[in-house]
Structure 1
Amino acid sequence: MDGLPIELPLFLLATFAGALVAGLSGFAFGLIVSSIWLYIFTPLQTATLVIAFGLIVQGYSVWKLRQALDWHKLWPFVLGAAIGVPVGVTILTWSNPVHIRMGVGAFLVAYSLYAWFRPAIAPMKGGSAADAGVGFLNGVLGGITGLAGILVTIWCGLRGWPKDVQRAVFQPVAVTIFLMSALWIGAKGAITPDSVKLFLIGLPALFAGTWLGLKLFGRINEATFRKVVLLLLLVSGAVLIF
């Protein structure tokens, strides 16, 4: 925080950009902001801000899409994610997270490239058990890497659901993961006064970016939305690898 007055514009720009992408695509806020914030703040402070802002971005987006929420479709993912998050955090205590992240990154790159160059993928079928399983794995991955909705995003695309239905599933799941992570960090006493100050300073940029992203989301078609999601998955995988 010593150099914050000089780095404040960079912090606000990253916050706005992350919120804009999250408002448009429904995920990737942490991916965008972390690429810049980690050069300014400590990893713990970055994680704290990603979770705090992520809760607002995803929560606001879910509220805007509340008419599209289908709790019958949603609950297996949320239940699975709630169980998976503590498992993911536990894995971090006895495994090498670098190897896990690189493996997940390679999978994301391979999947996104495959789906990009093969546009016609027949929708997959699945029931509540399959959805809960994907939610669980997504929660585990979220606990390990902080990527709160990656696997559910992929699964929703494989199911062939429209973009509004997809967001009405993977964004509430992301909110669940962020909320559990926030409670865990708060219980550890890791929230500092500097983080609270940064949170308050960044709120206007966050709201502006989220508002603009949601406006753009309403103007894109299904094909464009699919391309945006695949591109962000590709970037997410590359970041995890390198």
Structure 2
Amino acid sequence: MTDQTIIWLVLGAISGSFINGLTGTGTALFALGFYLVALPPLQAVAIVALMSVLAGLQGLWVVRAAIRSNLPRLARFLLPALIGVPLGVGLLASIDAGTLRLAIATLLIVHGVYFGFRTTLPRFRARTPIIDGVIGFIGGLFGGAASVSGAIPSLWLSLRPWPKAKVRAVLQPFNVVVLAMTVGLLFFQGAYNERAIHALLITIPIGFVSAQAGIFVFRRIGDTTFRRLLIGLSLLMGIGIALQELF
């Protein structure tokens, strides 16, 4: 493994894991570009998925009390997602994943621009169990079909005036479970070969420290700042997905 490859892996681990530690999502957006320079696409995606799970597990510990007190809400998102993931994987052969990713990117950009530059944030308080389930299903479906499981749930949760721990108590375990399923599917496809293992030996310890740095910042910001971060991340995710597909 060359020094240049190691540098790209280190940069991807730092950026992706820090964002995941801070917001509970976004690893692929900030890390995949670096990994694709250093590794073949299948191994790059496999490493991003596993790094997302490892960073996410650290974040789960931070909001463990909020998760325990919000299990019914989490279940509304997560159970439909478990149905959506294999369906999304099954759709890969019959849909244009690139077109789907561009459609998602457009939605995220519109949402990020509209709400990101408003002086007041939306305060959608109504209980919406059916919509929550639909959002969870779409997140799982898009995760299996286009590797963007956190995009739509992040958009939806950024509209709710919930405390940051409550938002993360849904978003973090949602992404961990969906991406863990992705890791399992990639494992059976042979993605974790010798080259990927060598890359993980470099990225895992760096990703652990970077995720802890992100968690450190998360603990020190307010609820409104966290919501604005999610809206800003939606915009960046949309731009990043669009650039990946167009160029």
TM (normalized to structure 1)? 0.94
Separation of aligned partners in 1, 2:205 and 2:183: 21
The Cα shift of 1:122 comes to 3.0
Which position in structure 1 is the counterpart of 2:136? 135
Aligned-partner SS, 1:158? coil
Aligned-partner SS, 1:223? helix
Which position in structure 2 is the counterpart of 1:22? 20
| Residue of structure 2 aligned with 1:66, choices 55, 61, 64 | 64
Q: Deviations over 1:181-221 (max 9, x none)?
A: 11111222332011112112212111110111100111111
The one-letter amino acid of 2:226's match is F
Which position in structure 2 is the counterpart of 1:97? 97
Aligned-partner SS, 2:190? coil
Aligned-partner SS, 1:159? coil
The Cα shift of 1:222 comes to 1.9
Give the direction of change, closer, same or farther, for the CA distance of 1:51–1:120 in structure 2 (3 Å limit): closer
Is the counterpart of residue 48 in structure 1 residue 46 in structure 2? yes
Contact 1:68–1:165 (CA<8 Å) still a contact in 2?
yes
The Cα shift of 1:226 comes to 1.9
Separation of aligned partners in 1, 2:123 and 2:65: 27
Contact 1:149–1:171 (CA<8 Å) still a contact in 2?
no
Which position in structure 1 is the counterpart of 2:150? 149
Separation of aligned partners in 2, 1:191 and 1:241: 27
Which position in structure 1 is the counterpart of 2:11? 13
Contact 2:55–2:211 (CA<8 Å) still a contact in 1?
yes
Query: Which is further off, 227-236 or 171-180?
Result: 227-236
The Cα shift of 1:124 comes to 4.3
- Residue identity over aligned pairs, in percent, reads 28
Which position in structure 2 is the counterpart of 1:108? 108
Is the counterpart of residue 208 in structure 1 residue 209 in structure 2? yes
Is the counterpart of residue 190 in structure 1 residue 188 in structure 2? no
Is the counterpart of residue 37 in structure 1 residue 35 in structure 2? yes
Q: Deviations over 1:82-109 (max 9, x none)?
A: 0111121122111111111111101100
Separation of aligned partners in 1, 2:113 and 2:143: 22
Contact 1:81–1:176 (CA<8 Å) still a contact in 2?
no
Aligned-partner SS, 1:161? coil
Contact 1:105–1:240 (CA<8 Å) still a contact in 2?
yes
TM (normalized to structure 2)? 0.92
Aligned-partner SS, 2:158? helix
Separation of aligned partners in 2, 1:202 and 1:120: 36
Separation of aligned partners in 1, 2:103 and 2:128: 27
How many correspondences in the alignment? Answer: 240
Separation of aligned partners in 1, 2:32 and 2:42: 11
Q: Deviations over 1:120-166 (max 9, x none)?
A: 32314233322111100111111122122221122222232111110
The Cα shift of 1:13 comes to 2.2
The Cα shift of 1:67 comes to 1.0
List gaps (5 residues or longer) in structure 1.
none
The one-letter amino acid of 2:109's match is V
Q: Please, what is the CA RMSD of the aligned residues?
A: 1.4
